[in-house]
Each structure stands twice: as structure tokens, then as C-alpha cells.
Amino acid sequence: MKLVPRGLRVRSALGFAVLALLVSAMLSVVTYQLARWYLIGQREDLAVRQTMVNAQVAKGLVASTEDPETLLASLRSVSNARAVLSVNGSWYATVVEFNEAVIPASERDEVAESGAAMQRVTVNGAPYLVIGVELPGLDAVYFEFVSLAEYRDTMDTLATTLFIGAGVATLGGAIVGWLLSRRVLRPLAGVADAAAAIASGELDRRLDGAHDPDLQPVVDSFNEMASSLESRIAREVRFTSDVSHELRTPLTAMLSAVSLARRSEMNERTKFAVDVLGDQVEHLRRLTLELLEISRIDAGVAELELTEVDVPVLVARVMAEAGMPANRLRSRLGTLRRHPMDPLRIERVLANLLENAERYGGGATAVELERDGTTLVVHVDDAGPGVEPDERVAIFGRFHRGGSAQPEDKPKGTGLGLALVEEHVRLHGGTVTVTDSPWGGARFTVRLPGEQAP
Amino acid sequence: MTPDANVQRMADTVLVVEDDHSVRALLRMLLEDEGLDVLAAASGPEAVELFGNAHVDLVLLDIRLPGFDGFEVCRRIRRLSNVPIIMVTAQQDSHDVVAGLELGADDYVTKPFNDRELMARVRTQLRRLQLSSAADSDIIRVGDLEIRAGEGTVTKAGERLSLTKTEFQLLVHLARNLNLVLSREQLLEHVWGYAYHGDGRLVDTHIARLRAKIESSPAQPALLHTVRGLGYRLSVTP
């Protein structure tokens, strides 16, 4: 089981947080220990000095009086210390709670052994320092309790402060890690953008040089990859274009030769042969022209010649040429008849759609024009069997062979007609789709935007 | 074609400029079958030389040629003559078309063409030649222009202008429909004989060339107006 989170940014933030936590915890512990060591040392020094002074006073008092009550009263009047005095085996305490019972035996032993001792005790839950000193020349020991409550409060405050500090540092680390990873990932976002642009056909997109020398190799190899991709595609496109170009002259010669041959007297067999030749050459001519047309679009050299066109007029002209009765045109454009387009290309689009309907759909039954906002919508309906849903994208592919057979009584299709429709429409920033016609059959829908996408 | 037609008038001569040997030979035969005389050139320099030494009524000009290309041939011929020129181009949407038209070509065909297409373009150009040479004595005046359709001449402020046949035909058609807007399609049909699929750029480039000749300042036309989205109109009022 993996507990490491997957996202680079989350990992980065967590890493920085852990690092910050470790560093701040270590610093806190050290700070706390140092502060304690220093503060307690100071406190002890002070306590010892004070105890020494008080012990001298107590020694004087013990020497000057025999009466314990007087001694105790004097001791109270001299200082308000919590003192315990042991004289000749008798104990005197200035404050009732601080008596011989709360002085640990080890403290008493150590004083007896080395003349002075210091130890920490807890009385009624409060911390105290108990210091014991032998009074020289007398059989007496002076003990004093010094409160450490103030010191403990200071240390508690310090600990709380350090604890909060460590928490803030950890959170800060996480934020820094998050932001830093964004900075680190930003060049990566640039790479992603460029890759997406290339994928969408902007083949000349490159990355700018990185400011960071560590990123330069990535930028270089990305650009290298894009260049090689671009030149490979360009080579392929040029090849198609060159092949088509080179075919033009022999095709022209063949077309002319067939025309010439047809003008002569021929017997049945020769006439049949020349007719086959003529049909095939004509097919090859259309194929070559369409390959050239599509390779120019692929190469990105095709330019859109946009003009405002009277749409119903253009559509009616194409329909008339295809031998379609004018009453099958239904325009719902009203008086907004004009639309920006490259008329030659849209004529090709419509002619190809009508031809497609003729070939596979039993002829176009209607051409409808309408508007969707500023978009021009053209529907071409046919009376054929329609297009299966899983064929509706593939049908626009190049040399796509659908399920329906090529009709034998019509000239062979090139297999590029619908692909060209899609390419020409795409050049306009529009779309072409196929659905079911409300009257049965297939409905091809071309949508051309009113304002051209930049 | 009947033998009488040849007796009535001399056959028109077409100069075929094409570097491929068999295409050249086939075009010669096809055009001769139409009753036309054919001269053939295989390179740019040969075409220009032939054109200088013989009477030519129409030039059929391929772009890719040895020596210098079809554009250069077009440029050099235009310096000498307003003879109709049909360019043979690779692709309808290529720059070749516009470049050729701007150099003064009258029309173009896309290669590979079939003979019906080619003959339709050739006949349109030659018929226009005959139409404009037919007796037509009216004189049309538009501003300081004086158009003699019968003679095929135009003067601007008394000075004779040199127009190609297509430019002349375009001007006459616009002048006969003075103050009326003519669409690109109408002009294509009347001047170039395209019923369908005419290329609007044919009209636009020829209008631009015509303006350069008849307008005092072509950038602000005073006679030949563009009516945005509709077409063109010849009139003295703006």
C-alpha cells in the first residue's frame, strides 16, 4: 500500500511541511533547553546568594538568643523568607507549611556531609528550590525555600510560544512548497500548452528559451521534436502535392488523346475500350484535382477568399447545375440573405453534398437554409437509407468505403468528396455533421459562423 | 465547321505554349479540329519570339516552362499586345491564378482540363473578338470617357486608352447598363461566358486593371464604383 500522494504539488507541499516541522521542532527543543539552563542558573545564583545573606542573619540571631520564640520572631522580622532552622536538634519554621517534613532526607544528608546543598521540591503542587547551609561554629542548619513559580510560568509561556511557532513554520513550509512547486511546474504548463497547440494543427509552435538553465534541455528537446514533426508532415504533404502535380501533364495528354480518338470512326470493341479509357481517365482527373485540393489545405497554403454572398442565389445556382428543381430550396433566411464565405469553396461543398445524395441517397430531396444566431445553417436532406450512427464520423474520412455499394450506373466516386466538404467547412471555422432527416433518409448539416474565428 | 466558314473569313490563330511534347501535339490536333490555326511553342523565349513574328488571336499559356515561365511570357506579350491570353494553372485556389490575372491574363483553365472545358474557354475568347468587331456604331459617353463599341476604342479626355479585349468588353457591358449595379455572376456570364462556377477573382482583378486605366485616381474611383456585397456599377454620380 502506498501512502505517498500522487500529485507533484501535494507531495512538494507535504515535503516542505515535514522539513519545516523537523527544523522548527529541533530549534524549539534547543531553544527551550538553552533558555531553561540559562534561566534556572540565574535563578539559582540569586537564590543561593540570598540564602547566604539570610543564613548570616540567622547565625547572628542564633548566637545572640537562646529563646526559640524570640529567635523565630526575629527571623520573621528580618526577612520574609520561607526559612526552616534546625538548632541543636530542634526545628523552627517561619511558615507553617514549610517545615522540616518537606525537606527531603537526601538534602539533609548532603548538608551534613558537604556543608551546603540545593534541591528542587514540590510543595502543595508548586515548585520550590530548597537550599540548606550549615551555620559554622554552631550546631545549626539553615534551610530556605525559594519559589520557582515565576520561572515555571516563564518556561510554560516559552514552550507554548515555541509550539505555536513550530506549527506556523510547518504551515509556512507547506505553503512555500505549494507555491514553489507551482513555480517549478509553470514551465511544464508552457510545454503542455505548446503540445496542445501542435496537436491542434499549429505545427510551427515552439517554446521560448527558458530563463532557467536547468530547464533548457527540456525546451531544446521539445522544440527539436516539434521541428522534426513539422518537417515530416510537410514532407508528406509536399509529396502528395508533387505526385498530383506530376500527374497533371500525363493526365491532360490522356484526356486529349481520348477526346481525339472519339472523333474517329470506331468499331464496337474499340469504342468500348475507348469509353472505358475515357471514364477511367476522367475519374483519375477528378481524383488528382481533389488530391491537390486536399493537399493544399493540409499544407496550410489554402487561403480563404471571404466575400459577402447572397446565399439563396449561390445555393440555387449549385442546385440548378446539379439538375435539382428550384422548389426544393427552402430558405428561412428572410431578408438576411448575405453571409461571409469563400464562394468557390462553398459551391464545392454544396455540389459535393448534392452529388453524395445523388450517389447514395437517391438524390437530395430538400436544401434548407436557416440561421442560428449569426451562424448560417444549411441542411441537405436525401431519401436514402440514412447513415448508421457508428458511421457518422468515419463517413468524412478520406477514401472511406461505407457499407453501401457504389452504384454501377453512375461514375465512380473519388472517396474524397465528403472529406473535402469537411476540410472546406473547417477552413471557414464551421462544422459539418450527418443526422437523420425528419423526412427519413440522411441529413447533412453545414454550419458556417457569421464572424470568422481569428 | 463547314468549308464555307473558312472561305468567309480567315481562321483564328492560337498560340499554344506548352513544354510537354505530346500535350502540345494533342492540343494542336484538337484545336485544328475546331477550325483554328495553331502555332506551338515549347519554351518561354520561343513563345515570345513566335508571338513577335506572327499574327496571333489567342494565347494558351502554361505557367511551368523552360527558359522563363508563363508569367514572364504574359508580361512580355502584354507590352506588345492586348491579345486574349488563357493561362493554364495548377490549382484554382493557388496564387498562380491571381498572379496571372494581375499580369493581364483574360481567363484561366485548371490542369488537367478536358477538351470540352478548354474549347468552351477558347470559344468564349474568340467569339468576343468577333462580337466586338461586328458593326456597332453607337458611341457611349461616361464622364470624360468616350466608348466606340464598333471600333473597339476608348478615349479618356480625347486621349486613346489601350484596353485588353476583356477589359473593353467589361467596360462596354457596364456602360450599356449605366447606373445599374451588375453582380459578379452577371459579369462572369456576360463577359466570360461562365454559366456556373465562375471565379469572382476574374471580375475583381479585371475591374482593378480597368480602373487603373480609366480612373484619374484609381484608389478613389469616380466612375467605376464597388457596391459592397452586390457588385459593380458604372456611373458619373457617386
pLDDT digits 0-9 by tens, B88-109: 987 666 678 888 999 999 999 9
Residue (of A251, A288, A250) closest to B114 by Cα position? A251
Assigned CATH for A307-448: 3.30.565.10
Listed in sequence order, the DSSP H helices in chain B are: 3-8, 21-33, 44-53, 70-80, 95-102, 115-133, 165-176, 184-187, 200-214
Res. B31 pLDDT band, cuts 50 70 90: very high
CA distance to partner chain A, nearest, from residue B12 (Å) = 20
CB neighbours of residue A53 within 10 Å: 13
pLDDT given for residue B89 in this prediction: 83
Interatomic CA distance for residues A360 and A386, integer angstroms = 9
Check residue B192 and report its DSSP letter: I
Instruction: Select from B31, B89, B91 the residue whose CB has the most chain A CBs within 10 Å, as the one to mutate to test that interface.
Output: B91
CA distance to partner chain A, nearest, from residue B233 (Å) = 17
**Residues of A in Cβ contact (< 8 Å) with B33:** 260, 263
Interatomic CA distance for residues B191 and B171, integer angstroms = 10
Confidence check on the interface: ipTM exceeds 0.90, yes or no:
no
Enumerate residue ranges in chain A where pLDDT < 50: 1, 453-454
Asked if the C-beta of A220 comes within 8 angstroms of chain B's C-beta atoms, the answer is no
| A248·B201 Cβ contact <8 A | no
Give yes or no for residue B206 having a pLDDT over 90.
yes
How wide is the angle at C-alpha A163 spanned by C-alphas A159 and A168, nearest 5°?
145
Asked if the C-beta of B203 comes within 8 angstroms of chain A's C-beta atoms, the answer is no
Q: A-contacting residues of B 33-52, CB under 8 Å?
A: 33
Res. B199 pLDDT band, cuts 50 70 90: confident
Across the strands, what pairs with A84?
A93, A143
Looking at CATH, the fold of the domain delimited by B135-234 is given as: Arc Repressor Mutant, subunit A (1.10.10)
Residue (of A239, A211, A375) closest to A299 by Cα position? A239
CA distance to partner chain B, nearest, from residue A293 (Å) = 7
- Please give the residue of chain A at the shortest CA–CA distance from B25: A253
CA distance to partner chain A, nearest, from residue B215 (Å) = 24
| Residue pointed to by grid coordinates 546568594 | A49
**Residues of A in Cβ contact (< 8 Å) with B30:** 256, 259-260
CA distance to partner chain A, nearest, from residue B229 (Å) = 5
Grid coordinates in use for B81? 499586345
Residue ranges matching CATH 3.40.50.2300 in chain B? 3-132
Who among A260, A292, A303 is closest to B30 (CB)? A260
Asked if the C-beta of A259 comes within 8 angstroms of chain B's C-beta atoms, the answer is yes
| A344·B92 Cβ contact <8 A | yes
CA distance to partner chain A, nearest, from residue B93 (Å) = 7
| A288·B112 Cβ contact <8 A | yes
Contact A339, A450 (CB under 8 A): yes
- Please give the residue of chain B at the shortest CA–CA distance from A303: B93
Instruction: Select from A238, A259, A317 the residue whose CB has the most chain B CBs within 10 Å, as the one to mutate to test that interface.
Output: A259
pLDDT given for residue A311 in this prediction: 92
Check residue A335 and report its DSSP letter: T
Give residues with Cβ within 8 angstroms of A413, minimum separation 6.
A355, A356, A359, A406
Residue B177 phi, psi dihedral angles, 5° rounding: -115, 45
pLDDT given for residue A124 in this prediction: 83
Residue A392 phi, psi dihedral angles, 5° rounding: -70, -20
CA torsion through residues A195, A200, A205, A211, sign: negative
Residue (of A350, A380, A342, A233) closest to A295 by Cα position? A233
- With respect to CATH, is domain A8-156 assigned 3.30.450.20? yes
Beta-carbon pairs below 8 A across chains A and B: 80
The SS3 of residue B184 is helix
Across the strands, what pairs with A444?
A380, A434
Q: Determine the straight-line distance between the first and last CA of chain B, rounded to whole angstroms.
A: 48
Asked if the C-beta of A182 comes within 8 angstroms of chain B's C-beta atoms, the answer is no
CA distance to partner chain A, nearest, from residue B173 (Å) = 22
Res. B129 pLDDT band, cuts 50 70 90: low
CA distance to partner chain B, nearest, from residue A309 (Å) = 7
pLDDT given for residue A8 in this prediction: 78
Contact B107, B86 (CB under 8 A): yes
Asked if the C-beta of A305 comes within 8 angstroms of chain B's C-beta atoms, the answer is yes
Give yes or no for residue B133 having a pLDDT over 60.
no
Q: Where are the domains of chain A?
A: 8-156, 216-298, 307-448
Q: How many residues does chain A have?
A: 454
Who among A249, A257, A308 is closest to B229 (CB)? A308
Residue B62 phi, psi dihedral angles, 5° rounding: -80, 155
Residue ranges matching CATH 1.10.10.10 in chain B? 135-234
Who among A255, A259, A303 is closest to B93 (CB)? A303
Evaluate the omega torsion of the peptide bond into residue A389 and state whether it is cis, within 30 degrees of 0. no
CA distances from A58 to A63, A79, A86 (A): 9, 10, 11
Asked if the C-beta of B201 comes within 8 angstroms of chain A's C-beta atoms, the answer is yes
- Please give the residue of chain B at the shortest CA–CA distance from A346: B197
Grid coordinates in use for A320? 440548378
Res. B2 pLDDT band, cuts 50 70 90: very low
CB neighbours of residue A124 within 10 Å: 8
**Residues of B in Cβ contact (< 8 Å) with A301:** 94
Interatomic CA distance for residues A260 and A269, integer angstroms = 17
A412-417: long-range contacts (C-beta < 8 A, 24 or more apart)?
A412/A279, A412/A283, A413/A355, A413/A356, A413/A359, A414/A283, A414/A286, A414/A287, A414/A290, A416/A287, A416/A290, A416/A291, A416/A294, A417/A290, A417/A352, A417/A355, A417/A356
Give residues with Cβ within 8 angstroms of A401, minimum separation 6.
A415
Asked if the C-beta of A447 comes within 8 angstroms of chain B's C-beta atoms, the answer is no
**CATH classification for the domain delimited by A216-298, as one of 1.10.10.10, 2.60.120.200, 1.10.287.130, 1.10.565.10:** 1.10.287.130
| A249·B114 Cβ contact <8 A | no
Compare A1 and B233 and report the one with higher pLDDT: B233
- Please give the residue of chain A at the shortest CA–CA distance from B197: A344
The SS3 of residue A96 is coil
Who among B26, B196, B199 is closest to A253 (CB)? B26
Looking at CATH, the fold of the domain delimited by B3-132 is given as: Rossmann fold (3.40.50)
Give yes or no for residue B132 having a pLDDT over 70.
no
